[in-house]
Amino acid sequence: MASSDDRVAGSDTGEDCPCRDGMFDTLEANRRRFIFGAGSALGAASALALATLPARAAEKAPPGAVWYDVPEDPTKVPGRPVAGDGGYGTRSQFETAVRIRFPTPNANTSWSLTPLASLYGNITPSGLHFERHHNGIPTIDPSRHSLVVHGMVGTPKRFSMDDIKRLPSVTRRHFIECSGNGLTEWKSPKGKTVQQTHGLLSTSEWTGVLFSTLAREVGLKDGAKWVLGEGSDAAVMTRSIPLEKMLNDAMIVYGQNGEAVRPEQGYPLRLLLPGYEGNTNIKWLRRLQVSDKPFMTREETSKYTDLMADGKARIFTLDMDAKSVITFPSGDMKLPGPGIYTISGLAWSGRGRILSVDVSTDGGHLWYPARIESTPEPMCTVRFTFPWIWDGKPAILQSRCTDETGYIQPTLAQLLAIRGDHGPYASVYHLNSIQSWAVASDGGVSNVHA
Amino acid sequence: MFTHDLKPLVRRLLLAGAFSIGASACAFAQSASDTRIGVGTPVTKAELSKYFAIPPDGTGLPAGSGTPSEGRVVFMDNCAICHGDKLQGNPKPGFGGDRLIGGRGTLATNAPVKTVESYWPYATTLFDYVKRAMPFSAPGSLTDDQVYSVVAFILAQGHIIKPDATMNAKTLPKVQMPNRNGFVPDPRPELSLYH
């Protein structure tokens, strides 16, 4: 399914977005994009119907919001009552950013991408966290859910959700990135927006129990080297994880950004492997089987392997290499005119902390250090910023990060030289090269290979 | 929410030093021999029997067997709608089943075709995956005999086993897949990036 062919997220609506909205989107532009936008709950037909209705009737709240009448002057009429929302809040009706789905033929095995350009700071709102499911989102009653840990252990055990919550917990911020992030971008620039090119990346604060804690409860046997994680979805997703990783920093999480993990993210329990490719972070986790060998599941052989030009495929390519991307300005935006702009973006590494980020405005000839907005944490994104005075001439914006191992984010040319350039179904995963955004003299920003 | 008696747990937590209550006050806790907390219920073999994950050596393969000709019937009834009656795949909206055979000799070309036949290193993976996740619309609905048969059918269509071969717990792990030696460990970080 995962191939770098012509499809890009959002293209299933046939939208050829001419709406290069300015950096400060107007409400109209936002609403137009919401109604016609890819990934909106409305089909193309109903969107058209809506558009022909009087503007008033077309005012409909975006997903995650409730539409309220907008008073002329909010200081002259009482507002809404306390807890009138039933006790769980919604976002503003004026906030329209949504995930968009990649047009795979089957919506049950597909992915949706995070609208990175609409995010602030470092944490992805739980409702905008990217998705990748292999047969839909299961509905699971936590009172009937449990985690079985067995295999090469002293005492195989079943842990109820209550059991797991009684164990000492840790709370850590980590990104998850699908190793297919950017798979359309190897050959030529395909995605128009940073959501399409980099949206399989999200960051959350995760709460749960370290695997090492569970390991002591069951007792590991000598010779144990791998652990199979299994999900409780219709794909019964399985991946084999090196025990070394499991004992190093693997978490069994039930909390995401201060509340229970969202259903799309594995409710009620998810395996969290900091810095590992997204697919290994098994959602709806129901079973861990300790073993001396990997199981060679479909997901770690047929998929998530990288076929090189010599016909050999790399297997267990688990770490996500250091990567960064500018989210403002980014593809499909339009700068209103010359002047000062704060370039902003995200940087992350699966091998530790981000050490530094550089920005270039001339396609990688000159690099300047960017400012990192927060203290870098291991296997967590950082937001970087860089003040830029645009002179109105064409420019090529790039960011390049270095992680704490000293690894420097490579160029696309460097990666292609290694991974080969042999067709859309070959090496599609683990693209972590420098992204280029071209700013034209009219201020339009587009995705280019430079 | 909690139904268990917390007292033994609290005692164990104190002994394990898992909750620190001031280092000096319970310095003795550091020497506790049992660092377990004692949570979780032991599971029996019988309970575990509903789970499976079949590694290349075939451990855990169930009883039962099947042949390609039996598998043809299973495939046409349960799989062909999404994978095509020639196993060629079906990219139409709502289906999206992968192509399952062909593509041998293409992996090192500019148009590699990855299928069970050309790419998968182990036949055990096919059994495991079909039993766990297929048919996509009703996963886990086939009997073990049906899974053995449909696996035999796919392997025979891919000219990997003889058209009359029987697949069972003994024969399946012995099947030599064409791309058995096609996988190499991850060499990243790639050294040329440090030239």
Does the residue B55 lie in any domain? yes
Segment A86-91 mean pLDDT: 96
Helix (H) or strand (E) holding B66: strand B65-66
Does the residue B187 lie in any domain? no
- Provide the token pair at B103: 């593509």
**Closest chain B residue to the Cα of A103, Cα to Cα:** B93
Helix (H) or strand (E) holding A239: strand A238-242
Burial class (CB within 10 angstroms; exposed 0-12, middle 13-18, buried 19+) of A271: buried
Residues of B in contact with A291 (CB under 8 A): 55
pLDDT band at A422 (very low <50, low <70, confident <90, very high): confident
DSSP assignment letter at A352 = S
Same domain for B49 and B11, yes or no, is no
Same domain for B51 and B33, yes or no, is no
Same domain for B16 and B70, yes or no, is no
Q: Given a cut of 50, is residue A379 above it in pLDDT?
A: yes
Same domain for B36 and B49, yes or no, is no
Same domain for B124 and B70, yes or no, is yes
**CA distance linking residue A279 with residue A261, whole number of Å:** 17
CATH no. of A323-448:
2.60.40.650
Segment A215-219 mean pLDDT: 96
Q: Is A105 on the interface with B (CB under 8 A)?
A: yes
- Provide the token pair at A104: 């795979």
Give the end-to-end CA distance of chain A in Å, rounded to a whole number. Answer: 28
Interface touch A307/B112, C-beta < 8 Å: yes
**CA distance linking residue A73 with residue A93, whole number of Å:** 17
Q: Is B86 on the interface with A (CB under 8 A)?
A: no
Q: Is B8 on the interface with A (CB under 8 A)?
A: no
pLDDT band at A24 (very low <50, low <70, confident <90, very high): very low
Q: Is B187 on the interface with A (CB under 8 A)?
A: yes
Name the residue range of residue B82's domain.
Answer: 45-174
**Closest chain A residue to the Cα of B113, Cα to Cα:** A425
Q: Given a cut of 60, is residue B4 above it in pLDDT?
A: no
- pLDDT of A42 reads 35
Segment A2-18 mean pLDDT: 45
**Least CB–CB distance from B112: residue in A108, A289, A422:** A422
Q: Given a cut of 70, is residue A243 above it in pLDDT?
A: yes
- pLDDT > 90 fraction of chain A, expressed in percent and rounded: 85
- pLDDT of B46 reads 95
When the pLDDT of each residue in chain A is averaged and rounded to a whole number, the result is: 89
Does the residue B162 lie in any domain? yes
pLDDT digits (tens, 9 = 90+) for B154-173: 999 999 999 999 999 999 99
Q: Given a cut of 70, is residue A2 above it in pLDDT?
A: no
Does the residue B129 lie in any domain? yes
Does the residue B134 lie in any domain? yes
Residue type (1 letter), A24 = F
- Provide the token pair at B94: 């709502």
- Sort strands B183-185 and B167-168 into parallel, antiparallel or unpaired: unpaired
Q: Given a cut of 50, is residue A91 above it in pLDDT?
A: yes
Does the residue B181 lie in any domain? no
Contact A101, A111 (CB under 8 A): yes
- Sort strands A259-260 and A251-256 into parallel, antiparallel or unpaired: antiparallel
Q: Best mutation site among A104, A217, A297, A434 for testing chain B: the one with the most B CBs within 10 Å?
A: A297
In chain A, what are the domain boundaries?
Answer: 15-99, 110-314, 323-448
DSSP assignment letter at A127 = G
194-233 in A: which are within 8 Å (CB) of B?
213-214, 216-218, 228, 230
- pLDDT of A277 reads 98
Segment A240-252 mean pLDDT: 98
Counting one residue from chain A and one from chain B, the pairs whose CB atoms sit within 8 A come to: 192
Q: What's the ipTM?
A: 0.88
Q: Is A414 on the interface with B (CB under 8 A)?
A: yes
Same domain for B4 and B52, yes or no, is no
Same domain for B26 and B77, yes or no, is no
Residues of B in contact with A167 (CB under 8 A): 37, 39
Interface touch B39/A418, C-beta < 8 Å: no
- pLDDT of A424 reads 65
Residues of A in contact with B188 (CB under 8 A): 314, 317, 319, 321, 430
- pLDDT of A357 reads 98
Segment B83-101 mean pLDDT: 96
**Closest chain B residue to the Cα of A297, Cα to Cα:** B125
- pLDDT of A420 reads 85
Overall domain count for chain B: 2
- pLDDT > 70 fraction of chain A, expressed in percent and rounded: 86
Q: Given a cut of 80, is residue B144 above it in pLDDT?
A: yes
- pLDDT of A268 reads 98
Domain A110-314 in CATH 3.90.420.10: yes
User: B89 vs chain A: nearest CA distance in angstroms?
Assistant: 11
Q: Given a cut of 90, is residue A22 above it in pLDDT?
A: no
- pLDDT of A50 reads 40
Q: Best mutation site among A109, A166, A303 for testing chain B: the one with the most B CBs within 10 Å?
A: A166
Residues of B in contact with A305 (CB under 8 A): 183
Q: Is A158 on the interface with B (CB under 8 A)?
A: yes
Interface touch A218/B55, C-beta < 8 Å: no
For B61, what's the count of Cα atoms within 13 Å in the CB-facing half-sphere?
23
**CA distance linking residue A230 with residue A248, whole number of Å:** 19
pLDDT digits (tens, 9 = 90+) for A150-161: 999 999 999 999
List the CATH number of the domain containing B95.
1.10.760.10
Residue type (1 letter), B23 = A
Phi, psi of A325 (to 5 degrees): -155, 140
Interface touch B55/A157, C-beta < 8 Å: no
Same domain for B112 and B19, yes or no, is no
Q: Is B2 on the interface with A (CB under 8 A)?
A: yes
- pLDDT of A421 reads 79
